[in-house]
Structure 1
Amino acid sequence: MMMLATAITSCGGRQGNPADAPESLEAKQLLQGVWVDDDTEDVVFKIQGDSVFYADSTSVPSYFKVVGDTLYIGSTARYHIEKHTEHVLWFRGQNDELMKLNKDDDLKDDFQREDTKVLTLTSVLKRDTVVFWNNERYHLYIAINPTKYKVTRHTLNEDGLDVENVYYDNIIHLSIFRGDRQLFSKDFRKQQYQKRVPEQLLAQSVLNDLQYDKTDAKGFHLNASICVPGDASCYLVENVISFDGKQTTNLLEY
């Protein structure tokens, strides 16, 4: 067996970002194959070429490299390697837990992974609401339309590894009628709430839902939720549509 220490050239004395140092191609070659957890014997990932393929179909395959005693995966994750031979890999996860993996050559050709699934957060796609106000009958139509616009979100999987999941954002259409007369019609996108939601959070969020709340003298109140997938972070923005079709917004909570 060849130890990783013999496969990596020391970078001592270099300046700048260690991640920019030349990678060890020999160490990369040693990592090729299917790696399983020592304790559970579950597949953690497969390394093929320049990519890490995770066992679950919701995590995006990521580029990897080895520089010094550090394993870099994707754009953000880095793991300190404690031990590496041809069939043994120990490294520290994001939570500093020591992960002990071994290479299973028997699974090399049997490892099958489906195409990466793009996730959606919304299950209800249409709502019809009838409202009576001042002896008038109003009809509100809400349609949630998943788009092909993708939002990426970094999370920790069950093995404590930083993985990237992809979600589809939504466009939500609202129409309001009084009888057969249309008072309001608009497609809602998360970008229109950039004055209410911080830019960094908005970039990681999806427009999750638009729900009717109440009607009063100001008009129809509907609450839009802008949420970070897989997180508790949500902004709730009130949309007030007046009886003459004008819209105002107000941040309710986050």
Structure 2
Amino acid sequence: MIRYITIVLLIFLLAACNNAQKQNISGQSEDLTAKELLQGIWLDDESDNPLMLIKGDTIYYTDTQSAPVYFKILKDTFYTYGNELTRYLIDRQTEYSFSFHSISDNIVKLHKSEDPNDSLAFSVKSAEVIPIYTDVTKKDSVITHNGNRYRAYVYINPSKIKVIKTTYSEDGMSMDNIYYDNIMHICIYEGRTCLYASDITRQNFEKIISPDFLQQSILSDMDFKEIDNQGFHYQATICIPESSVCNIINLLVTFDGKLIIDPMK
């Protein structure tokens, strides 16, 4: 719980800093000469590996799962406009060399490629979207209560709803990965009578999960837990993709077909 609170506070502080940055740069003129110098492929000084391709006002990365980002240069600062606004203080820039301070305050040193074959490391298409589920997954529970027999189904449906998660490279560069969210369908039957049938999405949890966390998370799982005199109890798992940071939310479907999010025990 402490870890989750710390992460949420960090996300909140980053968002606040980003908003302040947006206000500070809104009236500044872009350095078009510096932007023109950046056109081309840039290699890491130490490894000589391609790091980024700059075409026009867009940066492309070698990782096909990282979305291209729009950028600007204002005075001595290099700004990228992805899921979050990120600023990098420029250390040095010439026609063939470029170095700047990353978020972790490492100095990233690059040099311009003169080999056309280096362009093969990049894709100028949209980033590959990472699905958590590729097929509909069905969970079927047969349960009895007070002499009555029920079937409780959960269908995990992959969707085309995109979720953007900001990640950071080892050098401290901000990159955006795109994932597909899921839609959960719960239906409950007593014999042939349908007591409840409805889709559950992340938006169902807007009132109990912070917007910053919800924006970068996916509805990753749904499980039937138990039945009692209140009704049918479920647990939804909402996670930041490819991390162990999750929210577990209780749901209750009553016998008269009402859905209660985070019910009081």
Deviation at 1:45, TM superposition (A): 0.9
Q: Which residue of 2 aligns with 1:110?
A: 120
Q: Which position in structure 2 is the counterpart of 1:98? A: 107
Q: Work out whether residues 252 and 263 of structure 2, in 8 Å CA contact, stay in contact via their aligned partners in 1.
A: no
Aligned 8 A contact 1:33 1:105 in 2: no
Task: Quote the offset at 1:217 in angstroms.
Answer: 2.4
Contact 1:155 1:164 in 2 (8 A): yes
Counterparts of 2:206 and 2:180, CA distance in 1? 19
Distance 2:178 2:254 in 1: 36
For 1:94, the aligned partner's letter is I
How far is the alpha carbon of 1:173 from its aligned partner? 0.6
Which consecutive residues of structure 1, in runs of 5 or more, have no partner in the other structure?
1-15
Give the aligned residue type for 2:87: R
- 1:225-244 matches, within 5 Å, as 225-244=237-256
Deviations 1:86-134 (A, max 9, x none): 2211111111011111111204543441541122334672212222333
Residues 54-63 or 120-129, more deviating: 120-129
Which digits, 9 at most, give the CA deviation of each residue in 1:38-59, with x for residues without a partner? 2222221111111000111111
Q: Distance in 2 between matches of 1:200 and 1:251?
A: 23
Judged with a 3 Å threshold, the aligned counterparts in structure 2 of structure 1 residues 242 and 230 are, in CA distance, closer, same or farther, namely same
Matching residue of 2:91: 82
On the 8 A contact 1:194/1:202 being kept in 2, the answer is: yes
Larger helix proportion of the pair: 2
Equivalent of 1:31 in 18, 27, 38? 38
Provide the C-alpha distance between the structure 1 equivalents of 2:218 and 2:167, rounded to a whole number of angstroms.
16
CA separation of 1:169 and 1:47: change in aligned 2, threshold 3 A: same
- Following superposition, the deviation at residue 156 of structure 1 comes to 0.9
> How far, CA to CA, are the matches of 2:173 and 2:214 in structure 1?
24
Which AA in structure 2 matches 1:119? I
Match of 1:206 in 2: 218
**Which residue of structure 2 aligns with residue 163 of structure 1?**
175
Q: Counterpart of 1:4?
A: none
- Aligned CA distance change for structure 1 residues 251 and 36 (closer, same or farther; 3 Å): farther
How far did 1:230 drift?
Answer: 4.4
Task: Give the equivalent residue in structure 2 for 1:142.
Answer: 154
Following the alignment from structure 1 to structure 2, what is the Cα–Cα distance between the partners of residues 251 and 165? 34
- What root-mean-square deviation, in Å, do the aligned CA atoms of Structure 1 and Structure 2 show? 2.3
Other structure's SS at 2:131 match: coil
Are residues 1:54 and 2:64 paired?
no
Work out the CA distance in 2 between the residues paired with 1:204 and 1:195. 16
Flag structure 2 segments of 5+ consecutive residues without an equivalent.
Answer: 1-22
Alignment of 1:109-128 (within 5 A): 109-113=119-123, 115-122=126-133, 125-128=137-140
How far, CA to CA, are the matches of 1:191 and 1:109 in structure 2?
40
- TM-score normalized with structure 2 length: 0.80
Whole-angstrom CA distance in 2 between matches of 1:85 and 1:156: 26
Q: Percent identity?
A: 36
TM-score between the two structures when normalised by the length of structure 1: 0.83
| Distance across 2 between alignment mates of 1:234 and 1:171 | 17
* Cα gap change, 1:19 to 1:72, in 2 (>3 Å): farther
Deviation of 1:244 (Å)? 3.0
Aligned positions, number: 237
- Once residues 20 and 157 of structure 1 are traced to their aligned partners in structure 2, the CA distance between those partners, rounded to angstroms, is 30
- Asked whether the equivalents of residues 196 and 251 of structure 1 are also in contact (C-alpha less than 8 Å), the reply is no
The higher radius of gyration belongs to 1
